Chains A and B, each alone.
Chain A
């Protein structure tokens, strides 16, 4: 299989707002369940261990017309909750057995309550991750939360989660993260061979496919991309930051590249590489999930940074690891986490003489021209002055 074929498959999954792949997976065998979750992070291992499919829901994108959802949200709230409600009221999520709303911001948090009221037959849960990263304090709390989540999943799915099944799931997700991190490394090395929009579609497919299938797909893609020759352009190398929740339209992702920027790191679809190291397979597995989250996870706006000197460090490290020449801060309109974080991150970046630009988008932004121009000018200025 060539990259084109794989990407076409991912594109079809991405375009399908009826989630047919997930529906078919569920229908294929009795006892299978589907658990939906919102960005940014939930422990997918526990879902998988209950013979359930973790289904990542990233709003409705730019192809879905929002009719009902707008009646639930004022104009000054980002778009993802309204398009998610639209998915719900139009029956597109009617096969989902349970919904998880993780700690991201107050919009997702409040959406968990709306879901409880609107869809009383679906088990809806807010999933709180700790903001205290001491193993004895935040860790102990989180282990209990994981245990509660495990029990809630067991109840919602009717399937027992054994240690053996968690271990097996962790193994598969460790592999998934390893493959994804290696793909991200490969792109940073040879971005012309791994266009960001293709990578993005692969990541999105991972939100619907069973993890073992996704692992195979990633391996196939990596092999195929290596074998193909793609022209190398004189693009500037940039890191993209701020797009961890509501996603930009695919066209926007393409536009940045077309404007002369190689994206060498980004924070799209963060869930599938949120943990930066393997979760150990020995000992207490919930504790392992907890400790890996506390000690080895990405820095993003929905996590508190306890020490001032560490603020922005992760971004700076990624910039240097990926040999980026600039940063594009791209945040959804009205996004508290990204927009409140931005001044601090942009200070860190400029203190280190790294150029940056920023803009806002919505998942249904239509006009790409201004963004293309802005990104193009930025790419040119990097080339000119570096």
Chain B
């Protein structure tokens, strides 16, 4: 077995790594520090509210991703299936449950403590509801739900917003006060949200730099890191604000020097294809998957996955003037909470605004929230933009469903197709 080469890392990556480790250390030492832990989801993540109660935020999706990247998820999933969980359902859930069955060890090598509360922010995915019913059965801990209505007609309504705010006021906040023993302080929430908005401005600046040619970032594989602090336990912190400052500087340097994104193997030199990607990535073979792109000179200039934890590039910012309403709007606006026609509009806009060559869909076997309807979406985007689409199928954290040879073949022929299409356009002109 050949050892994997050490990946090239920017300062911002090292910074983020340290932030994540600190959060895991804080979580795993909750018994010593007496701090309370909330488990919750990335879309509809109410981090500022959690921080108001000095609680720590633990995100099982992120833990599943970590397990996937460290090649542990396969074993966890099998463990869960042995315990009666169906092979057909979301593999994040099974990775989480299997991990629990195997001692629930955090990435820092210490056992995860049981959460003090499950905050079921139901935003954009049905599975969330069952996932936390399943966890509640295990942990027997208090659970509070925020039901976020779906934007079925492509817009939000005052009724939806009022419903969420009421749930926050009358259920979530009182429950958090009870668990944490701390009184809710709306001014603290405002203060945290001011920082959120600052970091969000910077994140948008970052992801929109992909409009440059060459693009200084990869808006899928690279963006996964860029969205990290805002999508997880750091939105609202000074650390997140500082992280984006550093990141912006790095990217500005690359723009000034006409450099491409930094991949695990160094700077990506040639950019032959500009791609928009729909759907989450595969985590078990993440580097291998990314390599298939940069080896062919394909850079991702926009992706929907980098909007699952908030659609900031469409204008939303946490608003300290209307804190609870703004949390409601945040939850309502997450990508998978938007209906399919809106998702198509977004992808079409990305193709145009980022001058992309086409849309690639990475369809995830066990994620109905993203996947059900993606074929239709792809065809619609193709029709509207005249740019070719391609469809590959993998899974999030189940290594059994990542067929490297198939994916590589499919990608190579897709890039050829783009090439042919270009030639066709040129010769027609």
Contacts and interface: CB of A to CB of B under 8 A. Distances in A.
Contacts of B145: 131-132, 304, 306
A111 B133 contact: no
A118 interface: yes
Given A125-B152, A131-B145, A305-B133, A340 B340 contact: no
Interface in A343-377: 343-344, 346-347, 360
B126 interface: yes
B279 to A, nearest CB: 11
Contact of A340 (B93, B143, B371, B372): B93
A101 to B, nearest CB: 8
A308 B153 contact: no
Nearest to A348: B137
Interface string B130-163: 1101101100100101010110110001011011
B366 interface: yes
A125 B375 contact: no
Given A109-B126, A125-B152, A137-B170, A346 B159 contact: no
Contacts of B340: 110, 112-114, 116-117
Contact of A334 (B88, B153, B376): B88
A249 interface: no
B143 A308 contact: yes
A343 B85 contact: yes
Contact of A116 (B157, B339, B366, B372): B339
Given A114-B373, A116-B341, A109 B152 contact: yes
A106 B126 contact: yes
A320 interface: no
Contacts of B371: 74, 76-77
Interface string A307-348: 010010000000000000000000101111101111110110
A248 interface: no
B108 interface: no
Contacts of A131: 122, 129, 145, 147
B137 A347 contact: yes
A76 B366 contact: yes
Contact of B159 (A71, A77, A145, A347): A145
Instruction: Give the size range of A's interface with the partner.
Output: 35 or more
Contact of A339 (B89, B171, B380): B89
Nearest to B129: A304
B63 interface: no
Given A76-B366, A145-B159, A113 B89 contact: no
Contacts of B129: 131, 304
Contact of A74 (B88, B93, B342, B363): B363
A12 to B, nearest CB: 33
B84 interface: yes
A141 B157 CA distance: 11
B159 A335 contact: no
Given A141-B159, A336-B127, A344-B134, A111 B373 contact: yes
Contacts, number: 165
Given A106-B126, A132-B167, A140-B166, A336 B90 contact: yes
Q: Interface size bucket, B side?
A: 35 or more
Given A132-B167, A344-B137, A106 B84 contact: no
B137 A308 contact: yes
A383 interface: no
Nearest to B340: A113
Given A137-B163, A340-B127, A105 B368 contact: yes
A128 interface: yes
Given A106-B368, A336-B126, A112 B162 contact: no
A248 B344 CA distance: 33
A137 B339 CA distance: 24
B369 interface: yes
A73 interface: yes
Contacts of B93: 340
A131 B150 CA distance: 12
Given A117-B344, A144-B159, A344 B133 contact: yes
Interface string B370-407: 01111110001000000000000100000000000000
B86 interface: yes
A94 B341 CA distance: 22
A126 B153 contact: yes
B125 interface: yes
A340 B341 CA distance: 28
A15 B367 CA distance: 33
A119 interface: no
Contacts of A128: 149-150, 152
Contacts of B133: 304-305, 311, 341, 344
B376 A336 contact: no
A130 B150 CA distance: 11
Nearest to A128: B149
Contacts of B157: 148
Nearest to B374: A74
A138 interface: yes
B366 A337 contact: no
Interface string A66-81: 0000011110110001
B248 interface: no
Contacts of B143: 306, 308
5 contacts: A74-B375, A81-B372, A113-B340, A144-B159, A343-B85
7 nearest CB pairs, A to B: A126-B152, A113-B340, A340-B130, A141-B163, A339-B86, A131-B147, A110-B373
Given A148-B157, A336-B126, A347-B137, 4 more contacts: A131-B129, A132-B163, A335-B88, A340-B131
